[in-house]
Amino acid sequence: MVFPQGNFSVEAMKVLKSRNFRAAVNTVPYPTGRPVALTLGELAQPAVLRYGGFPLFPRRPIRQTKSQDIAFNLFFGRPVLIVEHHDVFRHPETLAEMALTINSIAPEIHWSNLESAVINSILRRRTPDGIFNIRAYSGGVRIANDRDSTERFSVEWSHSGQCPPVEQMLQDGTPYRSFEVDDCGIRLSVDLAPGSSQTLSVVYRNDYASLGSLGFQWKTKAFLRRRLSEVRDNYVSKNRYLMALAQTLQRRLLS
């Protein structure tokens, strides 16, 4: 989920977790109207788990992304997520410069879609007994064995009593029976053959299935807002005079 205009609530994060979304991505790392100071421990992880235990992956606009931010993300296993509206392609050199900067800092980086970036964002370490411990963040994670021998992976997700109950685990879409759940986390172990990979997913029980409709008025407002956003993105933003007029009207309405 990428929130429209970056607005979200803790309640929305809980619903997304119960509806088995992978994760959320947002520019502002706290709920609307409720600014919080994230700890260094929260920032030094691939995703923020403060809000209902649902992973929030931060992103930054190009103008706010510095070389040290890129290096910080890569050091702590965070994906490098940048955000811009498509009018950035009027001057694509800024986007090209950012791509060159990222490639220069991390020559081995993989450019992919958002879901791939999220499910591959894990923390990994090998214990003295040879087992790879995987700290998972998104609802689904991809683990890979790049070695020449079969390896065992122990995968763990955070979990608490405030999280929705776990219905099942999936291994490449197939139910996986051998897992443990308690207030400390969700854990399972799997052996991977050389050069193979698997996607492991948590399936939570939907505790919000009985919610009623939001009503005709709300649906109408949401429909109009979506269509107006499409008009802005597909037409207004492509004309600098119309875009300037729209921004002027917006400032006056909000003042």
Same domain assignment for residues 42 and 96: yes
pLDDT at residue number 141: 94
Do the domain assignments include residue 211?
Answer: no
Same domain assignment for residues 126 and 220: no
Do the domain assignments include residue 192?
Answer: yes
Based on the structure, what is the number of domains in the chain?
Answer: 3
Do the domain assignments include residue 209?
Answer: no
Side chain identity, residue 202: V
Do the domain assignments include residue 66?
Answer: yes
Same domain assignment for residues 62 and 107: yes
In angstroms, rounded to a whole number, what is the distance separating the alpha carbons of residues 224 and 215?
Answer: 15
Do the domain assignments include residue 181?
Answer: yes
Same domain assignment for residues 9 and 83: yes
Same domain assignment for residues 53 and 132: no
Collapsing DSSP to helix, strand or coil, 168 comes out as: strand
Residue 194 has pLDDT above 90, yes or no: yes
pLDDT at residue number 231: 80
Q: How far is CA 90 from each of CA 2, 27, 84, 250, rounded to the nearest angstrom? A: 23, 22, 12, 22
The per-residue pLDDT for range 90-114, each reduced to its tens digit, is 788 999 999 999 999 999 898 999 9
Backbone angles phi, psi at 11, to 5 degrees: -60, -40
Residue 237 has pLDDT above 80, yes or no: no
Burial class (CB in 10 A: 0-12, 13-18, 19+), 138: buried
Residue 254 has pLDDT above 80, yes or no: no
Same domain assignment for residues 230 and 197: no
Q: SS3 letters for 26-37?
A: ECCCCCCCCCCC
Same domain assignment for residues 223 and 199: no
Residue-number span of the structural domain to which 134 is assigned: 122-204
Domain endpoint, select from 113, 131, 157:
113
Do the domain assignments include residue 104?
Answer: yes
- Show the tokens assigned to 89: 């392609």
Residue 196 has pLDDT above 80, yes or no: yes
Same domain assignment for residues 109 and 9: yes
Q: In which residue are the tokens 């691939």 written?
A: 46
In angstroms, rounded to a whole number, what is the distance separating the alpha carbons of residues 104 and 101?
Answer: 5
Side chain identity, residue 1: M
- pTM attached to this predicted model: 0.83
Domain endpoint, select from 85, 113, 141:
113
pLDDT at residue number 211: 64
Same domain assignment for residues 179 and 82: no
In angstroms, rounded to a whole number, what is the distance separating the alpha carbons of residues 255 and 165?
Answer: 46
pLDDT at residue number 255: 65
Side chain identity, residue 197: S
The mean of the pLDDT values for the chain is 88
Residue 216 has pLDDT above 70, yes or no: yes
pLDDT at residue number 144: 94
> Could you tell me which residues come within 8 angstroms of residue 21 by beta carbon, excluding any fewer than 6 positions away?
1, 54, 139
The per-residue pLDDT for range 132-186, each reduced to its tens digit, is 999 999 999 999 999 999 999 999 999 887 788 999 999 999 999 889 999 889 9
Same domain assignment for residues 60 and 95: yes
Pairing mode, if any, of strands 185-192 and 180-182? antiparallel
pLDDT at residue number 219: 86
Do the domain assignments include residue 51?
Answer: yes
Same domain assignment for residues 100 and 21: yes
Same domain assignment for residues 8 and 99: yes
